[in-house]
Amino acid sequence: MSTVAVEVVYRGIFQRTLARNIVRSIVFAARKEGKIGTAFGRYGDSPERNGIPAKQFAVVADDAEELEEVLARYEPTEVDVTINVDDTMCKGIESWAWYGLQPINQLTKPNGTLIVTSRQDADSLVEDIHQKDTPFDLSIIKSTVSFSGLWVYKDDHTDARILGTLCNVCPQLFSIDSMLQALDEQGNGETKLASAQKAYDVATIRTVEPGEGNSEVPYKFELLGWQTMEEGLVIRAQGKGGGFRGGDEGFQPDRNEVFKKYSTRSMRPVINFETCIKCTLCWLQCPDTCFDITPDGLYDANMESCCGCGVCEAVCPVPDCVTMVSEADFNDNSSQWEAWQEDKPSYQQWMTALVDKQKAETRTHGFHHVGGYTEEIAASEDA
Amino acid sequence: MTTTATNELFQTEKEELISGSEAIALACALADVDVITAYPIRPYDTVMQYVSKLKADGSFDCDFIVAESEHSQFEIVKHASSVGARTFTGSSGVGWFYAFEAITVTAGLRLPVVAMVGNRALDDPGAFGVEHNDALAVRDLGWMLYWVATAQEALDIALLAWRVAEDPTVFLPFAVSCDGSFLTHSQAIVNVPTSEQVNKFLPPYDRGKLQLHPDNPITIAPQVNEDWLMEMRRQSDEAMHRSVGVIKKAYEEFKEIFGRGDPSPFVEEYMTEDADIIIVGMGTLALPVRVAVRRFQEAGRKIGFVRVKFFRPFPTEELQEILTKCKAVCVVDRDYSYGAPSYGGVLFTELRSALYPMEKRPLMLNFIAGLGGREVHVTDVNDMVDIVQKAIETGIIEQEATWIGVRDN
């Protein structure tokens, strides 16, 4: 018996078509070798929300009965390969389908493979990825993370490169020739096939040993049962909140104890408290009430609530006062204002370096990307 | 009378990687449906999305009307059907309920509308996962009701649906029920037949002298009192009786033309021979149950499974014959019926009623499971079988209906 399961972890809406192309191509390629397969998105994740981590699966088997064995659980309990198409999710994911943080490699089988598209190096990613009791292989596809919208698809060959890499790291699935044939039949051009072949040729792995990686225990919540749950579908509201950190000055709203937005973000705002003019716009416009008002009347983005949408950056009238920066540059969710209070020169240095790096990398996220097409088209026409 | 066109898309048999919803959309194109109405609600909306795509791509020509509500959606196909158009529509959960007035009159007027119900939990709370209560709500109204288990079956049964519904001796609407998510959002390999095969199986819809047309001046749906109504109800009852024979004949022809299908159109038997316990359920529940049954059989335990495919007309005789051979029946309901006899589910209550006249009656236990799209795992099936096994050994049923997979804290 041989069944192979592959999951694609992606950011809802922004990477949906990418994930769908990958799982469907896996089934098509398997079909070339006489195998049977199925491709599906996890219903619990849908309807997808912008940027919220979601999953799609491809399961391939030798025959229908074997396939049924795997699908007796709708969502596979373990997968041979996990494909993560946004490296910031290496820190773990919380989707619509469950409460609490799930390590990116939670379903990856012992000696399975985690494929990540990233510009980071292996050591930097391993630092984010939660430890496992068993070894697994990490395969990095050097690439800018591919984002697009719900109705548009940025065909930057990320799908082809992932599929080529997959053929290399998981040879029991199918040959690269079958994959190229499947891609060809789906109407992909020669350059895309070449991208798949090249990714296959250059793919490398780095084994991650047991105990190596992020030692954080992922947060989780106990779900109520029918005897402890409130009747009548009632959910108690959050309290109004009070002074900043429980003091008399400033303000911070009470926040939900079982719903945190850490893994929703692929970027987060960093704030230059020294140029802030206290106009209140970020605080007013933030759809998630994420800004705490500090005793000195500044606005501190609280990472428990920030979903990374970038509205604060868009409405801020002061240049570079709020800048969206890749989530990959952070290892915790601590307060920026507190860091600034503690050591202002160091904070300014750290913050300026991050902002400069962001400008150099031009990392985008879906929200930015939706509005970014006009500029991109203009740029390409100029060139 | 409409003609059936040969669609260029379906010249040769081919494989597609599609969901159950997409399979039904292809069936619409194959059957050259004339009027399709839509109103978005998930998981049903996956059908309308694919129909729109086929139409936009120029692969399928039909009147595709996106109505302003489910009520209008079902009213439009009802009227279209009365003038002789082949029709398709569908909905899910409370959307289906919003159309309820139109749904009852469609059956009352003997109009062969085919609808897809993407099974979804009824609000509140708003939930997207599968429960069978939405489709089951029409069980008393004259709708034929079928639960499919695979994307392939979805395509096949949609074709069967028009064939049976539009048979002049039947003229009743037909609902194809598909478990939300498991069928509507999973893509499987489906064999798509040719137009030629479908045309051979499915004659054009001919409403004959019941067709509303200027050349055939008639009035439909007058107001009546007690002096007329009971006879009309009796006619619908008889039509449902007649549908049984029509289904059997159509299914035999289906198997001949398309080369696939089960022995019976009404139920699917799986390892029921000499079984001590037979599990009964509907829809995609078949997947984990079949796996569990295989494992029991490998371990030498005589456990079988029957999937009820047609819920209306209810396969009474088939089930009486199969189920009276075993010691105990384990009915899994993906629905609820608060305050029903023994607090059991709908399928359980119907089955127990079907078996009451039998001389040899098996023990019957009921399990409410998989509500709101919760998965029914192989381990859940094992738990049910354990409870049933205990009842066989002691001869005592401690509790007739048990909720499985619910958090009890």
CB contact under 8 A, A228 and B378: no
Residue B135 is predicted with a pLDDT of 98
Of the candidates B335, B323, B332, B27, the one whose C-alpha atom is nearest the C-alpha of residue B152 is: B27
Best mutation target, A43, A67, A185, A229, to test chain B (most B CBs within 10 A): A43
H or E element at residue A347: helix A344-361
Residue A49 dihedral angles phi and psi, to the nearest 5°? -110, 150
**pLDDT more than 90, % of chain B:** 94
Residue B330 is predicted with a pLDDT of 98
pTM higher than 0.90, yes or no?
Answer: yes
Within an 8 Å CB–CB cutoff, is residue B273 touching chain A? no
H or E element at residue B298: helix B286-298
A380 burial class (0-12, 13-18, 19+ CB within 10 angstroms)? Answer: exposed
Q: Are strands A53-61 and A3-11 parallel, antiparallel or unpaired?
A: antiparallel
Query: Which chain B positions have a beta carbon within 8 Å of A39's beta carbon?
Result: 17, 186-187
Looking at the structure, tell me whether residues B107 and B220 fall in a common domain. Answer: yes
CB contact under 8 A, A38 and B288: no
CB contact under 8 A, B181 and A74: yes
Least confident span in A71-85, A189-203, B48-62, B239-253: A71-85
In a domain, B1, yes or no: no
Of B217, B232, B258, the position where a domain reaches its end is B258
Within an 8 Å CB–CB cutoff, is residue B408 touching chain A? yes
**pLDDT more than 70, % of chain A:** 94
CB contact under 8 A, A46 and B375: no
Per-residue pLDDT tens for B114-154? 999 999 999 999 899 999 999 999 999 999 999 999 999 99
A378, pLDDT greater than 70: no
Q: How confident is the model at residue A121 (pLDDT cuts 50, 70, 90)?
A: very high
Task: Give the range with max mean pLDDT: A363-367, B173-177, B372-376.
Answer: B173-177
Q: How confident is the model at residue A257 (pLDDT cuts 50, 70, 90)?
A: confident
Give the mean pLDDT of B355-381.
96
Cα distance between the two ends of chain A: 54
Give the burial string for B80-116 (b: 16+ CB within 10 Å, else e): bbbebbbbbbbbbbbbbbbbeebbbebbbbbbbbbbb
Looking at the structure, tell me whether residues B276 and B254 fall in a common domain. Answer: no
Q: How confident is the model at residue A51 (pLDDT cuts 50, 70, 90)?
A: confident
Pull the structure tokens for residue B300.
Answer: 């030498």
DSSP-derived secondary structure for B231-263: HHHHHHHHHHHHHHHHHHHHHHHHHHHHS---S
My answer on whether omega of the bond before B124 falls inside 30° of 0, hence cis, is yes
In a domain, B317, yes or no: yes
In a domain, B3, yes or no: no
Q: How confident is the model at residue B321 (pLDDT cuts 50, 70, 90)?
A: very high
Q: Which residues contact residue B6 at a Cβ distance below 8 angstroms, ignoring those fewer than 6 apart?
A: B195, B196, B199
Give the mean pLDDT of B207-230.
94
Looking at the structure, tell me whether residues B198 and B277 fall in a common domain. Answer: no
d(C-alpha A202, C-alpha A182), whole Å: 21
Within an 8 Å CB–CB cutoff, is residue B406 touching chain A? yes
Looking at the structure, tell me whether residues B102 and B216 fall in a common domain. Answer: yes
**pLDDT more than 70, % of chain B:** 99
Residue B4 is predicted with a pLDDT of 54
Query: Which chain A positions have a beta carbon within 8 Å of B43's beta carbon?
Result: 43
Residue B364 dihedral angles phi and psi, to the nearest 5°? -130, 125
Least confident span in A1-10, A245-254, A268-277, B285-294: A1-10
d(C-alpha B87, C-alpha B33), whole Å: 6
Query: Which chain B positions have a beta carbon within 8 Å of A226's beta carbon?
Result: 406-408
Looking at the structure, tell me whether residues B239 and B183 fall in a common domain. Answer: yes
CATH number at residue B288: 3.40.50.920
Give the mean pLDDT of A168-197.
96
Pull the structure tokens for residue A365.
Answer: 């996220």
In a domain, B276, yes or no: yes
Pull the structure tokens for residue B83.
Answer: 């003038």
Pull the structure tokens for residue B230.
Answer: 């009971």
CB contact under 8 A, A37 and B189: yes
Q: How confident is the model at residue A373 (pLDDT cuts 50, 70, 90)?
A: low
Write the DSSP symbol of residue A257: S
d(C-alpha B394, C-alpha B400), whole Å: 14
Residues 75-134 in A contacting B (C-alpha not used; CB under 8 Å): 75
Pull the structure tokens for residue A341.
Answer: 């209070």
Per-residue pLDDT tens for A59-70? 999 998 888 887
| Overall residue count recorded for chain A in this entry | 383
A365, pLDDT greater than 80: no
Q: What is the largest CA-CA distance in chain B?
A: 70
Write the ipTM. Answer: 0.91
Residue A125 dihedral angles phi and psi, to the nearest 5°? -70, -40
Give the mean pLDDT of B66-76.
98
Distances (CA, A) of B17 to A23, A27, A175, B133: 11, 8, 20, 29
Looking at the structure, tell me whether residues B22 and B110 fall in a common domain. Answer: yes
DSSP-derived secondary structure for A118-141: ESS-HHHHHHHSBP-SS-EEEEEE
Residue B68 is predicted with a pLDDT of 96
Looking at the structure, tell me whether residues B332 and B238 fall in a common domain. Answer: no
Chain B closest-CA separation from residue A23 CA (Å): 10
Long-range CB pairs of B248-251, under 8 A, 24+ apart, other chains included: B250/B160, B250/B163, B250/B164, B250/B167, B250/B201, B251/B160
Residue A3 dihedral angles phi and psi, to the nearest 5°? -120, 145
Give the burial string for B201-239 (b: 16+ CB within 10 Å, else e): bbeebebeebbeeeeeeeeeeeeeeeeeeeeeeeebeeb
Chain B closest-CA separation from residue A277 CA (Å): 43
Q: Are strands A299-301 and A291-293 parallel, antiparallel or unpaired?
A: antiparallel
Residue A371 is predicted with a pLDDT of 47
Give the mean pLDDT of B270-298.
96
Of the candidates A79, A160, A90, A175, the one whose C-alpha atom is nearest the C-alpha of residue A126 is: A90
Strands (E), chain A: 3-11, 36-41, 53-61, 79-84, 108-118, 136-142, 206-208, 267-271, 291-293, 299-301, 322-326
Looking at the structure, tell me whether residues B125 and B222 fall in a common domain. Answer: yes
Looking at the structure, tell me whether residues B111 and B212 fall in a common domain. Answer: yes
B375: nearest CB among A37, A47, A74: A74
Per-residue pLDDT tens for A163-176? 999 999 999 999 99
In one-letter notation, the amino acid at residue A264 is T
Query: Which chain A positions have a beta carbon within 8 Å of B187's beta carbon?
Result: 24, 27, 38-40
Query: Which chain A positions have a beta carbon within 8 Å of B42's beta carbon?
Result: 46-47
Residues 62-101 in B contacting A (C-alpha not used; CB under 8 Å): none
Give the mean pLDDT of B82-110.
97
CB contact under 8 A, A226 and B182: no
Give the mean pLDDT of A128-137.
97
Distances (CA, A) of A96 to A183, A278, A345, B39: 31, 35, 40, 25
CB contact under 8 A, A44 and B409: no
**Number of folded domains that form chain B:** 2
Give the mean pLDDT of A323-346.
94
Within an 8 Å CB–CB cutoff, is residue B189 touching chain A? yes
Of B232, B258, B284, the position where a domain reaches its end is B258
In a domain, B409, yes or no: no
Looking at the structure, tell me whether residues B253 and B349 fall in a common domain. Answer: no
Residue A34 is predicted with a pLDDT of 94
CB contact under 8 A, B124 and A233: yes
Best mutation target, B152, B287, B381, to test chain A (most A CBs within 10 A): B287
Domain limits at B62?
8-258
Q: How confident is the model at residue B82 (pLDDT cuts 50, 70, 90)?
A: very high
Within an 8 Å CB–CB cutoff, is residue A269 touching chain B? no
CB contact under 8 A, A27 and B17: yes
d(C-alpha B53, C-alpha B46), whole Å: 11
Residues 313-352 in B contacting A (C-alpha not used; CB under 8 Å): none
Give the mean pLDDT of A35-39.
94
CB contact under 8 A, B189 and A71: no
B375: nearest CB among A24, A69, A73: A73
In a domain, B393, yes or no: yes
CB contact under 8 A, A228 and B409: yes
CATH number at residue B12: 3.40.50.970
Within an 8 Å CB–CB cutoff, is residue A223 touching chain B? yes
CB contact under 8 A, A72 and B187: no
A255, pLDDT greater than 70: yes
Residue B128 dihedral angles phi and psi, to the nearest 5°? -105, -15
Of the candidates B124, B142, B134, the one whose C-alpha atom is nearest the C-alpha of residue B70 is: B134
Instruction: Count the alpha carbons within 13 Å of B402 in the hemisphere toward its beta carbon.
Output: 18
CB contact under 8 A, A43 and B291: no
| Overall residue count recorded for chain B in this entry | 409
Looking at the structure, tell me whether residues B272 and B368 fall in a common domain. Answer: yes
Q: What is the largest CA-CA distance in chain A?
A: 70
Chain A closest-CA separation from residue B181 CA (Å): 6
Residue B1 is predicted with a pLDDT of 43
Best mutation target, B14, B16, B17, B381, to test chain A (most A CBs within 10 A): B17
In a domain, B408, yes or no: no
Of the candidates A12, A200, A39, the one whose C-alpha atom is nearest the C-alpha of residue B188 is: A39
Q: Chain A residue closest to B43 (CA)?
A: A43
In one-letter notation, the amino acid at residue A335 is S
A215 burial class (0-12, 13-18, 19+ CB within 10 angstroms)? Answer: exposed
CB contact under 8 A, A27 and B185: no
Per-residue pLDDT tens for A75-118? 888 999 999 999 999 999 988 777 789 999 999 999 999 999 99
Q: What is the average pLDDT value for chain A, to the nearest integer?
A: 90
Query: Which chain A positions have a beta carbon within 8 Å of B408's beta carbon?
Result: 225-227
Write the DSSP symbol of residue A214: B
d(C-alpha B290, C-alpha B301), whole Å: 14
CB contact under 8 A, B182 and A74: yes
Helix (H, G, I), strand (E, B) or coil at A67: helix
Domains of chain A: residue spans and CATH? 3-208 (3.40.920.10), 244-375 (3.30.70)
Looking at the structure, tell me whether residues B222 and B322 fall in a common domain. Answer: no
Chain B closest-CA separation from residue A226 CA (Å): 6
Residue pair B64/B133 in contact by the 8 Å Cβ criterion? no
Tell me the count of A-B CB pairs closer than 8 A.
Answer: 67
Helix (H, G, I), strand (E, B) or coil at A169: helix
